[in-house]
């Protein structure tokens, strides 16, 4: 085998299909690379990876249940910290992904502006907090994308019920069925008529989520009044941004977007974080307060994409690049294959740069 061949190991999670976008990206890239999929959830994960000896681990952590998220994190930490493997996205990006407790600690420790977040493991302490906090507050489950575990709590009694439920048998409430806020019922229904096998996959997914109850702690976040969130997407040197609009009280999970020309300061804000922590794949959801300050609500290294682009500038898809200290817009389709094509190119460019 040529020494110029880059070997990738695509690390599967508990889902049977989550890794397909990585496979598609590798197939489209063509020569110069080799890839193998390895199921990180199976008992021989370690032996398979050592035997294959990849140059880069392409990661896709699970985002459905806490046990499998913990499994993925723990095994990846062994591979990176103990065995010296490189992964994309990076280990630190994986650790803050779909772990709202850890993300809140991480943001606080690094003095990054974000809504005040409190995690309570004792019911009495949480109840004491409710006596003096301002309402509404936001209850969140630790793992759950598209707003599935976000609940706006408008007064003390409502919040007290939520807290007690989180510590007792039911656990913190989380949507486990279809996201009714997404709309597009005709299009979604037609998809399942044409692909009946996907219905069973969806039902299996919903059952898995429903069975994963969050109990024994509660996460309460400061409520930030907003009409939208900015989503800033960064993959390598490529920067994108659009507005996530609200349906009801939440922007997360609505899939309702507005492609306004983004302010350059959003990219400055994101770039400082990416450079500071050596991150390469992020969707950073940001509240913009009335005074112009920016607060991070969520950070995800892997994220959904309902449109074929992440940004439109004057109706044209493209990206921003920083060239000679100036942000330059480049028109083009850079978000193909759910942005995994761009992720793969970024991973390859980084590997080549580090091995020159």
Round the CA-based radius of gyration of the chain to a whole number and report it: 21
Asked if pLDDT for residue 205 goes beyond 60, the answer is no
Using DSSP, state whether 77 is helix, strand or coil: helix
Query: pLDDT at residue 175 above 50?
Result: no
Contact 294, 114 (CB under 8 A): no
Check whether 200 has a pLDDT greater than 90: no
Q: Please report the pLDDT score of residue 44 as a whole number.
A: 98
Of 62 and 222, more confident: 222
Show the tokens assigned to 43.
């008992």
Provide the token pair at 47.
């032996």
Residue 324 dihedral angles phi and psi, to the nearest 5°: 55, 45
The pLDDT assigned to 188 comes to 53
Residues with Cβ within 8 Å of 251's Cβ and at least 6 positions away in sequence, in order, are 147, 226, 228, 229, 244, 245, 285
pLDDT of residue 149: 79
Q: How far is CA 131 from CA 96, 115, 199, in A?
A: 30, 19, 45
Q: Of the ranges 54-63, 98-107, 193-202, which one carries the lowest mean pLDDT score? A: 193-202
Share of the chain above pLDDT 70, in %: 83
The predicted-structure confidence for 44-60, as pLDDT tens digits, reads as follows: 999 999 999 999 999 99
Give me the helices (H) in the chain, please. 20-29, 45-52, 66-77, 91-96, 100-109, 123-130, 156-167, 185-194, 197-211, 264-277, 340-354
For 230-264, write each residue's pLDDT tens digit.
999 999 999 999 999 987 665 555 578 999 999 99
> What size, in residues, is the chain?
356
The band of 64, judged by pLDDT with boundaries at 50, 70 and 90, is: confident
Q: What is the pTM of this model?
A: 0.86
Three-state secondary-structure class, residue 305: coil
> How many Å apart are CA 85 and CA 52, to the nearest integer?
12
How many CB atoms sit inside 10 A of residue 95's CB?
18
How far is the C-alpha of 165 from the C-alpha of 172, rounded, in Å?
6
- Are the C-beta atoms of 242 and 259 separated by less than 8 Å? yes
CA 232 – CA 304 distance, rounded (Å): 13
Q: Say if residue 177's pLDDT is above 80.
A: no
The stretch 284-309 carries a mean pLDDT of: 95
**Exposed / middle / buried, residue 124 (Cβ in 10 Å: 0-12, 13-18, 19+):** exposed
What domains can be seen in the chain, in order of their start residue? 6-88 (3.40.50.880), 113-222 (3.30.1490.20), 228-350 (3.30.470)
Cα angle: 228, vertex 234, 236; to 5 degrees: 175
Q: Which of 342 and 215 is assigned the larger pLDDT?
A: 342
Q: pLDDT at position 315, please?
A: 95
Half-sphere exposure of 311 (CA within 13 A, CB side): 24
Name the band, by pLDDT with cuts 50, 70 and 90, for residue 340.
very high
Backbone phi and psi for residue 150, each to the nearest 5 degrees, phi listed first:
-110, 130
User: In angstroms, rounded to a whole number, what is the distance separating the alpha carbons of residues 326 and 267?
Assistant: 11
Asked if 227 contacts 246 with a C-beta cutoff of 8 angstroms, the reply is: yes
Share of the chain above pLDDT 90, in %: 73
Whether pLDDT at 122 is above 90: yes
**pLDDT number for residue 169:** 67
Least confident of 148-152, 232-236, 320-324, 327-331: 148-152
Give the model's pLDDT for residue 273. 98
- Range of lowest pLDDT (139-148, 153-162, 230-239, 282-291): 139-148
Task: Please state, in angstroms and rounded to a whole number, the distance separating the CA atoms of residues 311 and 337.
Answer: 15
Q: Which of 61-65, 99-103, 226-230, 351-355 has the lowest mean pLDDT?
A: 61-65
Cβ atoms of residues 85 and 78 within 8 Å = no
User: Comparing 52-56, 122-126, 200-204, 302-306, which segment has the lowest mean pLDDT?
Assistant: 200-204
How far is it, in rounded angstroms, from Cα 140 to Cα 117? 10
Which residue's structure tokens are 């992964």? 87
Model confidence at 98: pLDDT above 70: yes
């Amino acid at each position: 085998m040529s020494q110029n061949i880059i070997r990738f190991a695509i690390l599967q999670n508990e889902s049977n299909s989550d890794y397909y976008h990585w496979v598609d990206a590798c197939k489209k890239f063509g020569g110069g690379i080799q890839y193998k999929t390895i199921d990180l959830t199976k008992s021989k994960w370690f032996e398979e990876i050592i035997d294959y000896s990849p140059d880069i681990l392409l990661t896709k952590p699970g985002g459905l249940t806490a046990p499998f998220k913990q499994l993925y994190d723990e095994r990846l930490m062994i591979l990176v910290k103990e065995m010296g493997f490189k992964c994309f996205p990076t280990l630190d990006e994986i650790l803050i992904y779909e772990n709202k407790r850890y993300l809140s600690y991480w943001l606080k420790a690094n003095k990054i502006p974000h809504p005040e977040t409190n995690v309570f493991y004792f019911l009495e302490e949480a109840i004491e907090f409710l006596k003096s906090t301002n309402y509404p507050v936001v209850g969140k489950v630790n793992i759950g994308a598209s707003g599935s575990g976000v609940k706006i709590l408008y007064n003390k009694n409502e919040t007290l019920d939520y807290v007690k439920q989180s510590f007792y048998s039911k656990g913190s409430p989380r949507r486990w069925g279809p996201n009714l806020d997404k709309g597009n019922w005709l299009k979604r229904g037609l998809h399942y008529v044409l692909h009946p096998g996907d219905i069973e996959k969806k039902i299996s997914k919903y059952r898995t989520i429903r069975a994963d109850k969050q109990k024994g702690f509660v996460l309460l976040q400061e409520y930030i009044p907003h009409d939208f969130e900015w989503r800033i997407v960064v993959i390598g040197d490529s920067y994108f941004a659009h507005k996530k609009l609200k349906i009801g009280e939440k922007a997360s999970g609505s899939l309702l977007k507005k492609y306004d020309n983004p302010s350059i300061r959003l990219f400055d804000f994101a770039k400082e974080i990416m450079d500071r922590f050596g991150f390469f794949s992020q969707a950073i959801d940001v509240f913009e307060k009335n005074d112009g300050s920016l607060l991070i609500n969520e950070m995800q290294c892997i994220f959904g994409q309902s449109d074929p682009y992440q940004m439109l500038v004057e109706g044209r898809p493209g990206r921003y690049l920083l060239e000679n200290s100036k942000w330059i817009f480049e028109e083009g389709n850079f978000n193909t294959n759910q942005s995994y094509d761009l992720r793969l190119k970024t991973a390859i460019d980084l590997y080549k740069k580090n091995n020159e």
